[in-house]
Amino acid sequence: MSLRFLSLIIIFLLSGFYLFQLYSSNHALSYLPEEGKVYTYKYPITDLFISIHYTSIPSDDLTQKKNLLGTVTFEDGWETEIHLTESKNTTEITFVTSNTSPLILSKPLEVGDRWESNVLDPGTHSSSTEKYEIVDIIEDYGFSFGTIEEVVQIKKTISSRDYVGTEYFYIASNIGLLYWDKIYEDDERVRYKELVDIK
């Protein structure tokens, strides 16, 4: 076996190992909040604040690597709960806003990924189509809490018989929702919800 052939085999093996590490790293990244911490959000339009305390809950589903219960507390003391799950291949983020569908991410996440879902509103008996697209992935994002390994920007377009709208979600690794922007009819981009504190 020639030295050149042996060198090519070593390069091939190292390249494969590097690609596997890159794939595994992206697959292993969590987009859910950390257990035991309290996340405080502000709704800038109304000046409303909520805090969400996340605790781990057991699951019979062995494919789930993270199963969180979020206890949401409003300023007046009223409480409700949300449920978030994550497996090796998917992350499901539920929002406090009841008329918003959960955000389901299929990993690894890549710019240009697109998916859609049809949603039936039981209150109005009307359906809407929700289209999603990953428009950017920002690495080493500087934030007031420190540097975030990865922030994924997701565009959501909603279309129904009575409404067409666009929203942007910024989902951070090991945090979940960072920002939520809405685009209104006059193309004004408004910050609907933002993370302001983690304890």
Nearest-CA neighbor of 143 among 91, 103, 179? Answer: 179
Confidence band, pLDDT 50/70/90 cuts, at residue 187? confident
Taking residues 33-61, what's their average pLDDT?
Answer: 92
Taking residues 126-138, what's their average pLDDT?
Answer: 92
Asked if the structure places residue 4 within a domain, the reply is no
Radius of gyration in angstroms for the set of CA atoms belonging to the chain, rounded to a whole number: 20
Asked if the structure places residue 19 within a domain, the reply is no
Lowest mean per-residue pLDDT among 16-30, 38-52, 106-120, 146-160: 16-30
Confidence band, pLDDT 50/70/90 cuts, at residue 13? very low
Q: In the predicted model, is pLDDT for residue 9 greater than 70?
A: no
User: What's residue 55's pLDDT?
Assistant: 96
User: What's residue 46's pLDDT?
Assistant: 93
- In 107-122, which positions are buried (b, 16+ CB within 10 angstroms) versus exposed (e)? bebeeebeeeeeeeee
HSE-CB for 89 with a 13 A CA cutoff: 2
Place of tokens 């909520």: 50
Strand locations in the chain (E): 38-43, 48-56, 64-74, 79-87, 90-93, 103-106, 114-121, 126-143, 146-160, 164-172, 176-183, 189-198
Confidence band, pLDDT 50/70/90 cuts, at residue 21? very low
Element (H, E) at 25: helix 3-28
Q: In the predicted model, is pLDDT for residue 1 greater than 70?
A: no
Contact 153, 162 (CB under 8 A): no
The CATH number of residue 115's host domain is: 2.40.360.20
Confidence band, pLDDT 50/70/90 cuts, at residue 65? confident
User: What's residue 193's pLDDT?
Assistant: 96
Contact 178, 171 (CB under 8 A): yes
Nearest-CA neighbor of 132 among 117, 119, 151, 110? Answer: 117
Asked if the structure places residue 1 within a domain, the reply is no
Q: In the predicted model, is pLDDT for residue 111 greater than 70?
A: yes
Asked if the structure places residue 48 within a domain, the reply is yes
Q: Provide the domain count of the chain.
A: 1
**Residue 86: exposed, middle, or buried by beta-carbon count in 10 A (0-12, 13-18, 19+)?**
buried
Q: In the predicted model, is pLDDT for residue 26 greater than 70?
A: no
Confidence band, pLDDT 50/70/90 cuts, at residue 163? confident
Asked if the structure places residue 59 within a domain, the reply is yes
Range of the domain at 82: 30-198
The rounded distance, in Å, linking the Cα atoms of 78 and 193 is 19
Asked if the structure places residue 50 within a domain, the reply is yes
Asked if the structure places residue 175 within a domain, the reply is yes
User: What's residue 164's pLDDT?
Assistant: 84
Q: In the predicted model, is pLDDT for residue 32 greater than 60?
A: yes
Asked if the structure places residue 125 within a domain, the reply is yes
Taking residues 47-59, what's their average pLDDT?
Answer: 93
Taking residues 171-199, what's their average pLDDT?
Answer: 92
CB atoms within 10 A of CB 177: 21
